[in-house]
Structure 1
Amino acid sequence: MHNYKSETQLDLDPDFKLFFEDFYATSDTPDAHEHYVTYFTDDATVVMASKSVKGSEEILALRKSMWEKVSSRSHNPIKIFPFGSYSDEVMLYGTVTYGLKSGGESGLDWAARAHLVKAEGKVRMDYYQVYLDTGAMAK
C-alpha cells in the first residue's frame, strides 16, 4: 500500500495533514474524477503548470484531461512547509511517477502552493498551484 504521509518542520493543523494524504490518494485513483473535485471549494482556482482553471466544472474537466495519456500515477508528497505554525497556507514538495498509456513510465519532481479553508468541519482548498517541469514528461 502506498504511503502518502509527509514530513513537516512547523506545527501543521492535523486535519490539513490528513487532508493532503487523502487528496493525493484520490489524485492517484483513475476513476475518482468527481470525488477529486470535492477537495476544492466551488469557486477554487487551480493552476497546473501553465493551465489555470476556476470553479468545479473547470476543475473536473482539468482532472479528466490529466488522465488522457496516463494509465497510472503515484504521488509521493515528501514535505509540507506551512507559512507559519498552524498556517492555512502551505508549500508542498514531492515526486510523481506516471504509467503512460503509450507504454513506459515517466516521473518528475513537483512543488505546490495551497490555501486551505475549513467549512462545516471539512477541509478544502480554495487555491492550488502546481509547479512542475513539463519538459520532463517528454522524455
Structure 2
Amino acid sequence: MSSYASEYPAGDKFDPEYKAFFEQFYETSDTPSAHEKYSNQFTQDATLIMASKNAQGREEILSLRKGMWEKVNSRKHTAVKIYPFGSDSNEAMLYGKVEYSLKDGREATVDWAARAHLVKQDGAVMMDFYQVYLDTAAQNPSK
C-alpha cells in the first residue's frame, strides 16, 4: 500500500484511476524537482486556488508551484480522507495535513481541505479545478 493512500466512504464507487491519481498527485506534490510533472497533472485551462493565490492555466500553475518551494526544503502530504460526491462521481472533497521542513530550519504541520474536479483527457486523469483551503498563518510558526 502506498504511503499516499487515503480512506474513502464505504459503499461509494470511486473510479480506481481517480484513487491512483490522488496518490500520484500528492507524491509529485512532495517532490521538490517535479515542477513540470506537477503542472502536467492539470488540464491546459485548469484553475488552481491555493489559499489566497490563484492560477489559471498550466503556465500560471507551474509558476505558482515553483513559488511554493522557495522557502521549503521538504513537505509530506497526507490526504487522510477523500469524499467523492456520490458513486461514480468525478468531484471530491478531501482533507488532510501537510508537514513542512522550511529552509530556515523551522518545521510546521498544517491541516488542509480541498475540492477537486477530475477529468479524463487523452487517456490520463487530470484536474481541471483544484481549490485548497488552509490556514496560511500556521505555515509561519514562530521559532
Gap regions ≥5 residues in structure 1:
none
Q: C-alpha displacement at 1:121, in angstroms? A: 1.6
Q: C-alpha displacement at 1:80, in angstroms? A: 0.5
Aligned partner (choices 77, 80, 84) of residue 78 of structure 1: 80
Match of 2:16 in 1: 14
Output the amino acid matched with 2:71.
Answer: K
Match of 1:38 in 2: 40
Cα distance in 2 for partners of 1:117, 1:42 equals 12
Identity of aligned residues (%): 62
Cα distance in 2 for partners of 1:138, 1:100 equals 9
Output the amino acid matched with 1:55.
Answer: G
Output the amino acid matched with 2:117.
Answer: H
Cα distance in 2 for partners of 1:79, 1:86 equals 17
Q: Is residue 3 from structure 1 mapped to residue 3 from structure 2 by the alignment?
A: yes
Output the amino acid matched with 1:85.
Answer: S
Task: Assess if the C-alpha contact under 8 Å between 2:2 and 2:23 holds in 1.
Answer: no
- Could you say what secondary structure the match of 2:18 adopts? helix
Q: CA RMSD in A?
A: 1.2
Q: 1:130 to 1:41 in 2, by over 3 A?
A: same
- Could you say what secondary structure the match of 1:8 adopts? coil
Give the total of aligned pairs: 139
Output the amino acid matched with 1:22.
Answer: Q
Q: C-alpha displacement at 1:120, in angstroms? A: 2.1
Superposed CA offset, 1:75-111 (max 9, x none): 0111100011010010011110000000021111100
Match of 1:48 in 2: 50
Cα distance in 2 for partners of 1:102, 1:43 equals 35
Gap regions ≥5 residues in structure 2:
none
Q: 1:137 to 1:59 in 2, by over 3 A?
A: same
Aligned partner (choices 112, 122, 125) of residue 123 of structure 1: 125
Output the amino acid matched with 1:97.
Answer: E
- Could you say what secondary structure the match of 1:7 adopts? coil
Cα distance in 1 for partners of 2:110, 2:33 equals 22
Match of 1:132 in 2: 134
TM-score (norm 1): 0.97
Aligned partner (choices 107, 110, 114) of residue 108 of structure 1: 110
